[in-house]
Structure 1
Amino acid sequence: MQAIDDGHNRGTKRVADTPPQPSSGPPAQHIASCHCGKFQAKLLVPIQEQEVKEDNCSSCVRNANVGVYPAKDQVRIRGREHAVEYLHGRKYRSGSHCGTRGVSVFGTQYGPPLRVFDSVPPERLEHVMSVYHKDMNMSPLNVRAIKGLDLASIQINGSEGCSASTMDNHISRTTGCKR
């Protein structure tokens, strides 16, 4: 599913799986999936090269999510059409879970409409836009859904609030909008 917000319409639409890409590096290091295996996400880089975070936002606590936030080109998703997508808060990001058993596997960053940045002071715009582009390039995964991964073998950092996106914090501070 993909979020739609063109200023007139807001909602979701189905999107195709991430197209297969030739990889010059090693094969997939980690596979995250739901119980039934209808969809999965492959992390194409060693998880030890990524920052892993466990934050205390209400959604992540209730779902026991531990997140890793690789770039989109470091992740391949298969079976996306079998996932149920939940759009969080302002609909800037989503979490996708299995419609059969509810296992959270991956997320999608949609970001705010670009008109939100019209009110950013010029001295902050470059920094805010760099955060926006970084967030839009990430493909969040739930580490707990990775098959065979021993959580004790990786460093998990704690985080206050939602660590999936720093964009909300920059927009709130800059425009005065609250989550």
Structure 2
Amino acid sequence: MKLGCVIMASGEGKRFGSNKMLADICGKPLIQRTIESAPKGFDVVVTTRWPQVAEICRELRCACALHDGALRSESVRSGLTWGADRGWKGCLFLPGDQPLVSSDSFEALAGAFKAGGGVAPVRLALNGEPASPVLFPASLFPNLMGLKGKDGGSSLLRGRADVQLVEARGYELWDVDTAKGQRRVSEHIAGCYVPR
């Protein structure tokens, strides 16, 4: 079963104060850390509106869909358009600022998706609380393509009874929205994180 992975890297980083995709995480840009963590065996594409991010993708030989939209829905569309002819049975949407998702969790997401016949969404969760990333079945691609404005794929999942949750470790859901988040993720990677 062929699966895609769209790494979402188009955000403005307003809370961070600059383009967080370029933030230093133990000597590498955040987006590089996320690309390097991406699930093996998936078709991976980064969707971004930042030329600097596209250049990092080029250096890493990672596919990149460069677009000029500022809204989350446009980033979703850009990634799915890139994958339109690739025969994906599902697509994982991975936030570009979430570099700590483990290969175990990616495998668990894919395993649950395939075990369910690839017909229902599967997402990471913590203590039963839904989180990202989310693996969407191809049947929802038209709905994803039709998103408007700031809506992301999660807006399609509200009220659905068939969404399967895969439990993650807490740190896997950490993101880099602020300088504090950058420090926490960096310290985790360096092996010296102490909860404060």
> TM-score higher than 0.5 here?
no
Q: TM-score, normalised by structure 1?
A: 0.30
- Which protein is bigger by CA-based radius of gyration? 1
Counting strand residues as a fraction of each chain, which structure ranks higher? 1
Superposition TM-score, scaled by structure 2 size: 0.28
Counting helix residues as a fraction of each chain, which structure ranks higher? 2
